[in-house]
Amino acid sequence: MKAFWGLIAAETRELLRDRAGLFWMLGFPVIFILLFGFVFSGSEEVHFELGVVGGSDPASQGLLEALKRVPVLTVHQGREEEELAELRAGRRDGVLVIPAGLSDPPGGGRTEFVLYVDATQLTGREVLSSVLDQVLAEFEAQAGGPQRRLVLTEKPIQARNFRPIDFTVPGVLAMTVMQLGLFGVAAHLLSLRERKVLRRLWAAPVPRTVFVSALITQRVLLALLQGAIILTLGHVVFSVPILGSRLVLLGVLVLGALAFVALGYFLAALARTQESGIAFLQAVNFPMMFLSGIFWPVEWMPGFLRPVVWALPLTYLGDALRQTMVQATPLVPLWLDLVVLGGWLAVLAILAVRFFRWE
Q: In this structure, are 82 and 186 located in the same domain?
A: no
Q: Is residue 319 part of a domain?
A: yes
Question: So what's the pLDDT on residue 320?
Answer: 95
Q: What b/e sequence results for 127-164 when a residue is b if at least 16 CB atoms lie within 10 Å of its CB, and e otherwise?
A: ebbebbeebbeebbeebeeeebebebebebeeeeebbe
pLDDT tens per residue across span 90-128: 778 888 888 876 665 555 567 788 888 877 666 677 788
What is the tally of structural domains in the chain?
A: 2
CATH code of 88's domain: 3.40.1710.10
Give the mean model confidence (pLDDT) for residues 14-39: 64
Q: In this structure, are 193 and 69 located in the same domain?
A: no
* Percentage above 70 pLDDT, the chain: 78
pLDDT tens per residue across span 134-152: 888 888 777 665 565 677 8
Beta bridge partners of 96: 52, 115
Give the mean model confidence (pLDDT) for residues 15-29: 63
User: Which residue range(s) make up the domain with 75?
Assistant: 48-156
Q: Is residue 93 part of a domain?
A: yes
Give the mean model confidence (pLDDT) for residues 302-325: 90
- Residue with the larger pLDDT of the pair 22 and 300: 300
Q: In this structure, are 225 and 297 located in the same domain?
A: yes
Q: In this structure, are 145 and 188 located in the same domain?
A: no
Question: Which of residues 100, 135, 156 is at a domain's end?
Answer: 156
335 CB-near residues (< 8 Å, 6+ apart): none
Question: Which of residues 126, 156, 186 is at a domain's end?
Answer: 156
Q: Is residue 43 part of a domain?
A: no
State how far the Cα of 76 lies from the Cα of 218, in Å rounded to an integer. Answer: 51
Q: In this structure, are 176 and 250 located in the same domain?
A: yes
Q: Is residue 31 part of a domain?
A: no
Structural contact between residues 281 and 267, judged by C-beta atoms closer than 8 angstroms: yes
Q: Of 258, 276, 280, 255, nearest to 267 (Cα)?
A: 280
Q: In this structure, are 183 and 250 located in the same domain?
A: yes
Question: So what's the pLDDT on residue 279?
Answer: 74
- Residue with the larger pLDDT of the pair 206 and 106: 206
pLDDT tens per residue across span 235-256: 888 888 888 899 999 999 999 9
Q: Is residue 146 part of a domain?
A: yes
Structural contact between residues 52 and 116, judged by C-beta atoms closer than 8 angstroms: no
Question: So what's the pLDDT on residue 159?
Answer: 45
Q: In this structure, are 202 and 347 located in the same domain?
A: yes
pTM score over 0.85: no
